[in-house]
Amino acid sequence: MITLTPDDAKKRFGPLFSQKFLVMVDEQSGRAEILEQCRARGPIEWDAMNRRRAGGAVAGCSVEGTTMVIDAKLGTYPVNFGPAAGDIGGQALEAVEVSGDEVITTWAGIAGAGVGVAACLPQAPGVIRAEYPTEDDLKIGGARTNRVRIISPRYEKICIGIDDTDTKAEGATWVMALKCAGACSIPGVEFLNMRLVQLNPAVPQKTTNCVGSALNFAVTPGKVPELLDFVRTFVEKNTFSKDTGIAYHRGIGFPHDSPAFAAVKTEILTVEKAEAAAKDLGITYIDTNGRKGRIGALGAVLWGNRGIEAAGLYGEHL
């Protein structure tokens, strides 16, 4: 076994193109999310298509710009490169395993794709070290097959929903949410993205647009309470409204589907119904007033990881 740190990999292979690598795990659901950023979109698109084709631990891939997110299964699985051969290339995720505070992802690549997993990913910010089974796995390019285990910190995924921080006279919830994310500098907390979630515009008690905001974070497990306390304190200190709602979900995906996904965009819910739906889906409220903002906070969490349709009316698609 040969072990390289990211700096070692840069010295051996020269500086390459990976700009971020992190893995979030949810052991209860047996799932993981792997986030990668590259300097350019082309390699990300090619990697996503090849990894999806190869199967293994990959359940799905999505690409936004130069960022790829892999929906993965915990465990070890056989891979199939399909039509890829030595002179074409191929790339696969064979395993995702949790080991204490670390996550081990196991990769295989053929030909040029081997450069991506053996030389490029090991250099990414977020990688602790890379382990190569043999010296031959350090020989990249050509028609070779490369294998590598990439070790990174263990993160969890937290989605926080915020609503009703504004009034008809002042404020905007999405501005508040982004300011909150920007102000968070807790070690072990990585801000992933933010979503504006269109709720039911027919609700009579609203400002104008009836939009909640979702903040997604990758968090090392020990830092979850600190993050939640920071968000609650920041939002409640800066809100213009007495109806502010804050909710969060810890994990990847929900235990089951629910009528609440459609209801927050199509019905006029009560706080009581929102609280019941949140309890059913493992969503927790952390605001201190328990008022109508809890409905929009629930909607933001429900749709915070469901793609661009979150920003539209129910049933709208690009």
Write the DSSP string, 109-158: EETHHHHIIIIIGGGSTT--EEEESSGGGG--STT-EEEEEEEEEEEEEE
Mean pLDDT of all residues in 99-107: 97
8-state DSSP, 143 = T
Identity at 88, one-letter amino acid code? I
Distance of alpha carbon 237 from the chain centroid: 27
Identify the pLDDT of residue 86. 44
Structure tokens at 226: 């600190």
The answer to whether 9 and 130 are in contact (CB under 8 A) is yes
Identity at 138, one-letter amino acid code? L
Mean pLDDT of all residues in 175-186: 96
Identity at 228, one-letter amino acid code? L
Identify the pLDDT of residue 154. 98
SS3 248: strand
Identify the pLDDT of residue 160. 98
pLDDT at 4 over 50: yes
Residues 183-209 pLDDT 10s = 999 999 999 999 999 999 888 765 667
The span from the CA of 223 to the CA of 172, in Å, is 28
Helix axes 271-281, 293-303, angle to 10 degrees: 30
Q: How many residues does the chain have?
A: 318
The span from the CA of 31 to the CA of 25, in Å, is 6
Distance of alpha carbon 192 from the chain centroid: 6
Residues 43-72 pLDDT 10s = 999 999 989 988 999 999 999 999 999 999
Give the pairing type, strands 31-38 and 129-132. unpaired
75 contact partners, CB below 8 Å, separation of at least 6: 30, 57, 95, 96, 97
Domains defined along the chain, listed by start: 2-155 (no CATH), 164-311 (3.30.70.2200)
The span from the CA of 230 to the CA of 131, in Å, is 37
The span from the CA of 173 to the CA of 310, in Å, is 16
* Global confidence as pTM: 0.92
Residues 218-243 pLDDT 10s = 999 999 999 999 999 999 999 988 88
> What's the longest Cα–Cα distance across the chain?
67
Identity at 189, one-letter amino acid code? V
8-state DSSP, 131 = E
Question: If you search the block for the tokens 């690598």, which residue do you land on?
Answer: 21
Distance of alpha carbon 31 from the chain centroid: 12
The span from the CA of 299 to the CA of 308, in Å, is 14
pLDDT at 83 over 70: no
